[in-house]
Each structure stands twice: as structure tokens, then as C-alpha cells.
Chains A and B, each alone.
Chain A
Amino acid sequence: MPEELYEIETEVPGNTVEEFLRMERMPHIWCPGCGIGTSVNCFAHALETSGLDLQKVSVVSGIGCTGRVAGYVNLDSFHTTHGRAIPFATGLKLANPNLKVVVYSGDGDLTAIGGNHFIHACRRNLDMTVILINNFTYGMTGGQVAPTTPLTATATTTPYGNFEQSFNLPYLAESCGAVYVARWTTYHVRHLTKAIKEALAKKGFSFIEVLSPCPTLYSRRNKIGDGLDQMIYYQESSEIKHGADTKTVGLDFQGKIVVGKFVDIERPTYLDAMNDYYSKRLGDKFVHYNG
């Protein structure tokens, strides 16, 4: 068959995520092979399809590699003190209940330094979306052991391996009362985008744990390759189990990963509970609070 020349003329649409990001700040500071950029990409796609009014969405971050997200999203965003992203978001939400508040931070920031705030936000069922990027270590400060570092993994402060039991974050969130709990990795981009979209639409405390490679510290210290090797490990070792018992989804060092949507229930949020209770208790004296 003779070869024919074939021409297609087409309009090139712009990259749709760019309107959700501060492109003048690119390239960002994250290392080559780091998964935080991928999760931000999924977040931007989720925002795009969610149809939310961007004037009413705000992102709160703590300190750390993931804390930098607040600086890169083209929304009202706050880069708060270490571990205090959730208290800041609580104030933001209670002062202006019409806002959609997203807390975007890392494992060290949300579950170590801010661990107490995390469990109480779950308990109160504050209406916010928490996206936790879990890279199993403290990236920005030099790879110290974190509460999420799996057993036997090496960190700069545990040169012979970690002997502390690590957190099972979905179990922690569920037992404290979160209404939406999911875990995905940066390999599951379509699932993650859908989960973020669902979490944004959910009323109450929605929690998504995103496992992300840290090629510079966690992977290098443990000699498990670079970012791409971690992504291939996520692809090969993860198993999707929706509705799995969160007791059973703990993580081992380079072991099997259970991902999926674990919890999706309904429970009155903090403001709804307060308004209901005081309306019953005080009757007409109580003025319904709605911002």
C-alpha cells in the first residue's frame, strides 16, 4: 500500500489545570519524582469538574513539602504555622460557614505536630476536606522518622531501622468520627481525582490519605530506587478494596497496600449539631448561626 501524507488541523486547547494554579511561580520546589505535584494536578482536575465557585474555596496548609501547596494554588490560601492547619481552617469555617475549606498538608504536619487537632476535628465533624499527603517521612527537614514511617524502615534518626509502630491513618480517622475516609496513591490518578471530587461534595469531615513517593529522602535512605520505582511499587502492590475494614489497612515496609474508599457515612456536622441542640435547649432565645 503506498504511503499517503495525512494532515490534521486542530485548535490546541490550553492546559485546563493552569487556571487553578499560580503558573508564574512554576517550576515548583518539589524534587524530580516527588508525587506532591501529581496530587495537586488531581486536585486541580477535581476542582475543575466539581463546578465549585472558586471564590468560595480556600486552601489551608501547614509547614513542610506539602505545605507549599498553599502557595501554588490560585485560590484564597493560607500557609499557617507548623501543625496548625486544622485549627486555622476551623476558625475560617466557623467564621464563614459558606466557605469550602480544604486542608492540604503532609503526614508530619497533620498527624504528628498537629495530631491532636486532627483527632478533634474528626470528633467534632467539622465541615472540611482534609487531603493528607503521606510520604512516610519528614521531607523538608531532612528525613527524620515520622509517626507514619513503617516498621524497619530507615530514616536519618533511625539508622538501624524504625522500631516504632506506625499510624494506621484511615483507622484513626474513622475511629475518631470522620464521615468520609479514603486512601489512594499518586499512581491512582483517576481514582484520586474522583475521590477528591466526592470529598469536596461531602458535608462533614472528609479525609483522603494520598501515598506519595519521596525519592530524595525516604526512597534513597531505604535504597528502594527513585520516584518512578515507588510508583511502580504502588502499581504492583496496591489492591482496591472499597469498604474494607480500616483495622486491616495498616501499612508495612514495602508490603501490600490496600486502597479504596473505606468510609462514607452521614453524621451531623459541628455547626448543625450546635444549631440543633441550642434551638431545642434555648428555644426562641437562640439565634440560628449561619455566618
Chain B
Amino acid sequence: MIESERKIIITMAETKKEKKPKGTIVITAERCKGCSFCVEFCPTDALELSKQYNKKGYHPPILISEELCNGCNICGLMCPDFAIYGFMFNKKGAKAA
């Protein structure tokens, strides 16, 4: 997801209704230096380093699964390069389709 997109639609396969995702992350892959602080210290282990490279040759993080992320923004606080941040879904804004 690129940062300039201000509206996103998350589509996922849900098996359990109660496991709705509470939040998500936004990654600016080009700023990442691959230190993997976010991957190591994510409280729900929702991140991993992707196999792809960014322009500088580092592996930026990606979400393993949308439903694991709770939008706590620990990754956003940890990131030394301001390349990732998390946010929680606004309860009113989020709607199930």
C-alpha cells in the first residue's frame, strides 16, 4: 500500500465472525532499512520481512495476515526510519460488506 492512498479497502477470507481485524499498518517501503525491529517486537507477531527488495536493497516488512494486526502502533514507535505506522479502525467508519 502506498502512503498517498488515503482510503483503503481490506478484503479477506474470514472463517470466524468474531475475528474481525481491529486495525492495520501502513508501510512506506522505500524508507525501510530492514532492521526488523517491528518484526521482532510486534506483540501479535503479525509481521515478517518480505522476500521482495526495496530500491536500496532491503527487505521491508509485510503483514502475515490482516486479522492478526490490532493497530497498536508499537511498530510505529519502534521504527527508526518512520517507515511504518499502525492505526485502529474507527468503529463508525468501518463497515462490514
Contact = CB atoms under 8 A, between A and B. Distances in A.
A38 B94 CA distance: 30
A15 B3 CA distance: 9
A31 B13 CA distance: 39
B82 A11 contact: no
A40 B80 CA distance: 8
Interface residues of A, number: 45
Contacts of B81: 26-28, 37
Interface string B8-52: 111111111000110010100001011111001100000000000
Q: How large is the interface on B (under 10, 10 to 19, 20 to 34, 35 or more residues)?
A: 35 or more
Contact of B40 (A1, A17, A28, A231): A231
A104 B7 CA distance: 36
A276 B16 CA distance: 68
B82 A17 contact: yes
Nearest to A226: B35
20 contacts: A1-B15, A3-B14, A4-B13, A4-B14, A6-B12, A7-B9, A8-B21, A9-B7, A9-B94, A10-B89, A10-B94, A12-B6, A12-B8, A17-B76, A17-B82, A36-B80, A38-B80, A40-B80, A41-B80, A228-B36
The 6 closest A-B pairs by CB, nearest first: A37-B80, A32-B33, A7-B97, A189-B77, A6-B14, A33-B35
Interface of B: 3, 5-16, 20-21, 24, 26, 31, 33-37, 40-41, 58, 74, 76-82, 85, 87, 89-90, 93-97
Given A7-B9, A13-B87, A228-B35, 6 more contacts: A6-B13, A9-B93, A15-B85, A27-B31, A32-B35, A32-B58
